[in-house]
Amino acid sequence: MADKFPSLSSAVCYVDPREALAWLEQAFGFEVSMLIEDGEGALAHSEMRFGESIVMVGSEWSADHKSPRSIGGKNTQTVHIQIDTDIDVHCERARAAGAEIIMEPATQFYGDRTYRCRDPEGHIWTVAQTVETVTREQMEAETGLKITGWA
């Protein structure tokens, strides 16, 4: 077990969590850090690491914990991945693994180059790489938005 658990992590449910573990490794480079199986070998719980972060990957375990595949593709949350490697290369890796790219890489007003994709069960993932340091004033001037709380 890791020395320190992140202050915030996400948990995603899949119809086939074992397949999801393999896909997340292939598409995003996540690494399995914990795998718990029951007496019949079914996946009871798993965790994957990405840098200092953890995402829990599990099965559909109640009527309220479902994969988008089971509820018409609907998402109630998305997961954001911040990377420090080439975003365009990362996007192509995800595409090659079967991700549906729903937003091609584009540089945003806040200085990140970002893409969005849908995994094989319908979860939406946003991936970003900071490519430019932008001030609050620059963002406000470009967008016309009023930004507060920006450090």
* Boundaries of every domain in the chain: 7-61, 78-151
Predicted confidence (pLDDT) per residue in 78-117, tens digit: 999 999 999 999 999 999 999 999 999 999 999 999 999 9
Predicted confidence (pLDDT) per residue in 40-74, tens digit: 988 989 999 999 899 999 999 898 899 999 999 99
State residue 3's pLDDT score. Answer: 60
State residue 7's pLDDT score. Answer: 81
What amino acid is encoded at 58 in this protein?
G
> pLDDT class for 133, splitting at 50, 70, 90?
very high
Closest CA to 111 of 125, 129, 127: 129
Asked whether the predicted pLDDT for residue 5 surpasses 80, the reply is no
> pLDDT class for 76, splitting at 50, 70, 90?
confident
Residues 22, 112: Cα–Cα separation, whole Å: 28
Mean per-residue pLDDT of the chain? 93
Q: What is the CA radius of gyration of the chain?
A: 17
For 51, phi and psi rounded to 5 degrees?
60, -125
**Is residue 51 left, alpha or beta, with left meaning phi > 0 and alpha meaning psi from -120 to 50?**
left
Residue range 78-151, CATH number: 3.30.720.110
Counting Cα atoms < 13 Å in the Cβ hemisphere of 101 gives: 18
Residues 6+ positions from 62 with CB-CB distance below 8 Å: none
Question: Given 3.30.720.120, 3.40.50.1980, 3.30.420.310, 3.40.50.720, which CATH number is that of 7-61?
Answer: 3.30.720.120
Question: What pTM value is reported for the model?
Answer: 0.90
Predicted confidence (pLDDT) per residue in 12-49, tens digit: 999 999 999 999 999 999 999 999 999 998 898 999 99
